[in-house]
Chains A and B, each alone.
Chain A
Amino acid sequence: MMKEGEGTKPLLFFKKGVLTLNNIILEMKSITKEFPGVKALDNVNFKVEKGEIHSLVGENGAGKSTLMKILSGVHPYGTYRGDILFEGENCMFQEINQSEAKGIVIIHQELALIPELSVAENVFLGNERAKKGIINWEETTIETDKLINKVGMRVNSSELVQHIGVGQQQLVEIAKALSKQVKLLILDEPTAALNEAESENLLQLLQEFKKNGLTSILISHKLKEVIKVSDHVTVLRDGQTIETLTKGEDLEEDRIIRSMVGRSLSNLYPSRQPKIGDVLLEVKDWTVDHPQIPGKKIANKINFYVKKGEVLGLAGLMGAGRTELMMSIFGQSYGKFQSGKVMKDGKEINVSTVDKAIENGLAYVSENRKEYGLVLDDTIRENVTLANLKEVADGLTINQRKEVSVVEDYREKLRIKAPSIEQKVINLSGGNQQKVVLGKWMFTDPDVLILDEPTRGIDVGAKNEIYKIINRLAESGKSIIVISSELPELLGTCDRIYTLNNGKITADFAVDDANQEKLMTYMTDDRSEAK
């Protein structure tokens, strides 16, 4: 494993660093955590060395977030079994404040920022620069500006968080962590919602911090980036530690996948014989205004079509208007409709409300599952059937037998990991929540399925499953539209790809003519008209 000399180097950067045995900064021993009906962690052992980037990987529901929530005191001492040694000290955290006092800071899978507050206010929330209870705004601003520089943000500290992009928001979280004298930084899927440039930026930042002696734990499903930045990778499966891999020795993608899913995965993107038929859906001169700013076009005379049995990709940078375009088509759920029409099978259809869109065979799987996809307090069963209750009802009365059998069916098909379909979705792991949303829309049996970032936060095994499902649906003659920020995913699954920029379609590629560079060019190109 680790050679003696290597690990000691970062110590030099710790002025007050206490020398502990073997440079182990953190050791979690035989951690076991049970929720009603689920053993989330079963005797997990986890060791992190000082000054390294240590990644934690595993399938959805493997227990990664739970392990980190225990470490940071979200699940307090006494609700789990096992010991936590941090800097040689036995820790029994009752709440987050206590772990933060020790320098352990966690950035959760779901961002915890307050949209209505400014960047500066968010950075120092709960940790205000104040004297006798009166906030010193000058100091707050100066300190925030310093932190903003450090994390390489390009926004003003007085900007409201709701007005900055997700990538920048993620950086605000990191600035917030840095303001707390952090020694161990935990990032739970920080890049899930970021595009490639933003992810790159964030990972570089981590590596810089590492040079200054900061230890980080990174949870991610993007194995390429994990391999790039990590010194060690620990794999969890079904709540158990499988193994810890070391950079330069046994750290390889295949190996990770094998120990994550218990078998090797020969082809992430399963192949499909495209059987493409006639044009099914056609959107003509679609123009939509921004909901608040009149005259600002979020979709500007957009024309596109998708054929039966075709998987269509939409590529674009964050803010290009992909989500907005699709939501405006799906029941005019976004923006102010100006003009344009939607044709299906050559006939104009009415998509002015969501239920009309659903009735006409459209389905839209949102990229933001918590806000737009799920009723968190409801069960898996209630969520899956919500968009198509008619199908499991006799008249107005819900037929429980039908409902249960339908939902059980989807649970199996999608391999949703939960003790039963009566589990509330708020208690599911992120990836499994995504599968529930997917199940909900598959159950409406749509002709056109719009998938907005369908594999965000999903493990490789499940990704593969979802691609297979996409293929199966396409083979059965349905049209699929995939929005994704991961270009390899688009190139791997689609038959045809549009690039979008500034509310306009800039190019239309058959997949065989496309590659990442070409797509990138058109995604950033303002002037070019559709070719």
Chain B
Amino acid sequence: MNTIAGYNFAYLDEQTKRMIRRALLKAVAIPGYQVPFGSREMPLPYGWGTGGIQITASILGRDDVLKVIDQGSDDTTNAVNIRRFFARTAGIATTEKTEDATIIQTRHRIPEKPLSEQQIMVYQVPLPEPLARLEPREAVTRKLHALADYGLMHVKLYEDIARYGHIASTYDYPVLVNGRYLMAPSPIPKFDNPKLHMNPALQLFGAGREKRVYAIPPYTKVESLDFEDHPFSVQRWEDPCALCGAEDSFLDEVVLDDAGGRMFVCSDSDYCTTRQAAGHTGSQSPVAKEAA
């Protein structure tokens, strides 16, 4: 594919790429620590994945195969737009198949299919500071990270338990990386948190507006904060996916009518279509409906 004239490969100039690459190497060397970087204005708005885009642009090579997902789906407009951006500025191959991708840029989900050592996950992060909602001043949160003083977060989680009987965080659930840094896993559902732990793939996180990158190297310990009497738990649904019958995936709720009708389908579109293609069915599958 031809790329846009007048722009460098993958849009960013080489000096900017080097600056981001240096930040990424430090991020990998200090797992979970947020490295400040000279985030650039991108041709997509802040808050729409500029951190992830800058990371992808800095690591991408001509042989890479890129997958972009938003909410687990390849077909949401923002995912389409970012994929189109890289197809135009870098002319690289794109895919919707999780296993075919060398780089997966994501917003809010980790694919259901296990990742491999040959893959890099790039997360778009809106708010990289896990303590920000408890302490908005960066001058203070930096000190707390330096001291590994995460009492604020433990108190917050404990107060949740006292008030609701359980921890009231369902996404962006805080994790401790390599036993040292408290980290915001970007707003993935806590369902995905266990996938962060000891993942064979390198995981990179980019917050463009907040000008931070951070990383979880492969095979790194990632613990979701919890208490002995309130261990971390993830969501499971009573019904399987209505389209592919999967019982192990994160499900989106789809409202079918205004009379309370709804169904639950995989949020990971590739996972669901791959299963359907392999003959798996659910309660709303065309086959099941025809038979009914």
A joins B in a complex: no
